[in-house]
Chain A
Amino acid sequence: MGKTETILKVKDLCVEFNTVEGKVNAINNLTYSLHKGEKLGIVGESGSGKSVSSLGVMGLIPNPPGKIVGGEIIYKGENLIDKTEKEMEKIRGNEISMIFQEPMTSLNPIIKCGQQIAESLILHRGMKKKEAMEEAIRIMQLVGIANPKARAHEYPHQMSGGMRQRVMIAIALACHPDILIADEPTTALDVTIQAQILDLIRKMNKELDTSVIFITHDLGVVSELCDTVIVMYTGRIVEKAPAKELFKDPKHPYTKGLLSAIPRITKERAALSTIEGSVPNPTEKISGCSFSPRCPYATDRCKNEEPPVVKLDESRRVKCFQYVD
């Protein structure tokens, strides 16, 4: 990776939310890039800003209360933040698509599944109703829905969670987007169904050459699927590395903590290790490194100064004073 064409470049993205308790910086100076065909994992706990960052790319941050206050999102050489709503509508679902966490509620209950897929095709491809429906059935087959002709005429409540997530993927991929953003698409599903959905995303990535941004809190899923991983904490990237290297040799104390918190079957039964403390309340202002209150290696410097992003090699970055020479 890294040699191929960069398709999406997020630079210094800052997102603010207005809450009753005041302004919250949900995303702070987020910078990353996505290459063609790459599968990028964004990992973090709830509230780390991983979902907001992807909604930002889609131009779907609910406003109010949220607002992009700085940075750039460069897609095909153009800054998406400067685009009008009308221009974004042409990109959404067509060039950049998204699937969500809750397959049970993410489909319109009163519209047949086939129609919900066909709608994208009618909208972006200008297909006629009948033609779009035929194509929708073909896509349903592609995403592994058995008997798609009959199922296209079913309503969401007649399908299982796994099937609905396949329909969601079919909607997202209907127009062969360049980028698929998957926001915890397997969290609400059974483990066996999870594996099937991951396989499907992998297959689609390969066959359609769609780049994937995979957002999750599940490190196991990331290790199975992704090429590159970004670890987020309090709206900041704390570490970025190729997936294999990250799991073999985590650098940031937070990543280390996350990895040691994964239960292992091979280990003797012992208390699960956890990271001390909890994610700080977003309204709380922490001076220095935002992880320092929980970090076992924190020094006085960590508590007063924000650590820089250290470039370890061509593909690895870490935001920690430990690696500043």
Chain B
Amino acid sequence: MERLKFIGKRLLYLVIMLFGVATLVFILTKLIPGDPVTANLSQRALSDESIVAAYKAKYGLDKPLIVQYLLYIKSLVTFDLGTSIRTNNAVLDELQRCYPATIELALLSIIIATVLGIFFGVISAIKRNSIIDQIVRAISVTGVSLPSFWFALLMLFFFYYKLKVFPGPGRLSTSFSAPATVTGLYVLDSLLEGDFPKALDAFSHLILPSLVLAAFTMGLITRTTRSNLLDVMSTDYIRTAKAKGLNQTKLIIHHALGNALIPVLTVIGLGLGNLLGGMVLVETIFNWPGVGQFAYQSVMSNDFPSIIGVALLIAINYMVINTIVDILYGIIDPRVRLS
């Protein structure tokens, strides 16, 4: 009951925050220089006042700002993000097309980063100052500081070009056609079709870009896990648990890890938010048709509705993830839930 109340409260905050972000984005689009009319109509059409007036009327630009704002909120509530100037498709359709590609990549990356990060962090905390700790430190610092585009090129060079163990750029080999869209995640959709080789092929395409993207977050998770676990291991309640006769493994799993992972959750959440926003460089190098590529192309062609759509999507990502992290905090730590 107390848990449900806590979750309900968090979800209410989420709705309020979404509204705030939408308002902020609206204000920003009105503040930045550039007039949608001049940006979108040809020189000849601009000289014809009736066309300009018709265009303004079509998009509600002739109405007072407050009415424009209300119309904008109304269209958002009905999931209408306008039409992309570059492709002439609805922005929502464009996002629906490219977002699953990014989700698929981000999910695998964050899973790799979390599993390896926590594992490395725990190992290096237990074996503090040993050679293992030093090696793990080297790996995590490298992961955090490697420029992703360079790391991406290296991975492609070795594992695709030289060793040929992983496929090259793209989501699927040319011998396969894209699976029918159910979730938009190729691995999942191929499995739903019952096409196991295709799922495997899609999965193998995911590995290199996921590893590249995971490196940074993994480094952060490793360092955070290590330092938090070391802090927790020197607390009084761990001494109590030791005095109870628990062995090292039980001590870490039952008593230390839960407490140590609370701050790590935040790092994982931020990492996932970052990944879901699309990684322009890595998506470009791996020819991955995700949000990053879409954002890049939209910016290059001054496609305002699409840019706003991406901005909103990124903001919503962070807010939803933060809400989930908050809820998880509350589930793990009773002190958060009750305060």
Contact = CB atoms under 8 A, between A and B. Distances in A.
B235 A97 contact: no
A172 B245 CA distance: 11
Interface residues of B, number: 22
B334 A89 contact: no
Interface in B322-339: 332-335, 338
Nearest to B258: A110
Contacts of B250: 123
B240 A100 contact: yes
Interface string A237-272: 000000000000000000000000000000000000
Contact of A157 (B239, B243, B259, B335): B335
A53 interface: no
B130 to A, nearest CB: 13
B245 A109 contact: no
Contact of B242 (A86, A92, A94, A119): A92
Contacts of B244: 92-93, 119-120, 123, 171
Nearest to A95: B245
- Interface size classification for chain A: 20 to 34
B255 A109 contact: no
A107 interface: yes
B240 A110 contact: no
B240 A168 contact: yes
Contact of A106 (B240, B247, B333): B240
Nearest to A174: B244
A111 B246 CA distance: 15
A124 B335 contact: no
A94 B240 contact: no
Given A105-B236, A109-B259, A110-B259, A91 B245 contact: yes
B246 A123 contact: yes
B113 to A, nearest CB: 24
B335 A93 contact: no
Given A86-B247, A92-B245, A94-B245, A109 B240 contact: no
A80 to B, nearest CB: 13
Nearest to B244: A93
Interface in A111-153: 111, 119-120, 123-124
B239 A89 contact: no
Interface string B237-275: 101111111110010001100110000000000000000
A98 B243 contact: yes
B179 to A, nearest CB: 43
Contacts of A124: 245
Interface in A64-108: 85-86, 88-94, 97-98, 100, 102, 105-108
B332 A110 contact: yes
A89 B236 contact: no
Nearest to A90: B245
Contacts of A106: 236-237, 239-240
A324 interface: no
Contacts of A215: none
Interface string A51-67: 00000001010000000
Nearest to A158: B338
Nearest to B234: A62
Contacts of A109: 237, 259, 333-335
Contacts of B240: 100, 106-108, 168, 171
B334 A155 contact: yes
B236 A92 contact: no
A29 B274 CA distance: 60
Nearest to A94: B245
A321 B261 CA distance: 57
A89 B247 contact: yes
Contact of A108 (B241, B247, B338): B241
Interface in B211-249: 235-237, 239-247
B335 A89 contact: no
Contacts of B237: 105-109
Contacts of A110: 258-259, 332-334
Nearest to B336: A110
Contacts of B243: 58, 60, 92-93, 97-98, 100, 172
A89 B241 contact: no
A22 B247 CA distance: 31
Contacts of A94: 245
B245 A123 contact: yes
Contact of A155 (B246, B255, B258, B335): B335
Nearest to B259: A110
A102 B245 contact: no
Contacts of B258: 110-111
A171 B259 CA distance: 20
Nearest to B129: A64
A100 B245 contact: no
Contacts of B246: 89, 93, 119, 123
Interface string A294-318: 0000000000000000000000000
Contacts of B259: 108-110
Contacts of B241: 108
Nearest to A157: B335
Nearest to A119: B244
Nearest to A89: B245
B23 to A, nearest CB: 38
The residue in B247, B254, B334 that gathers the most chain A C-beta atoms within 10 A of its C-beta is B334
Given A100-B240, A108-B237, 4 more contacts: A92-B244, A93-B245, A123-B245, A168-B240
17 contacts: A60-B239, A89-B245, A91-B245, A92-B244, A93-B244, A97-B243, A100-B239, A100-B240, A105-B235, A106-B236, A108-B240, A108-B255, A110-B333, A120-B244, A168-B240, A171-B240, A171-B244
Please name the 4 residue pairs, one residue from A and one from B, whose CB atoms are nearest each other, closest first: A92-B245, A93-B244, A93-B245, A105-B236
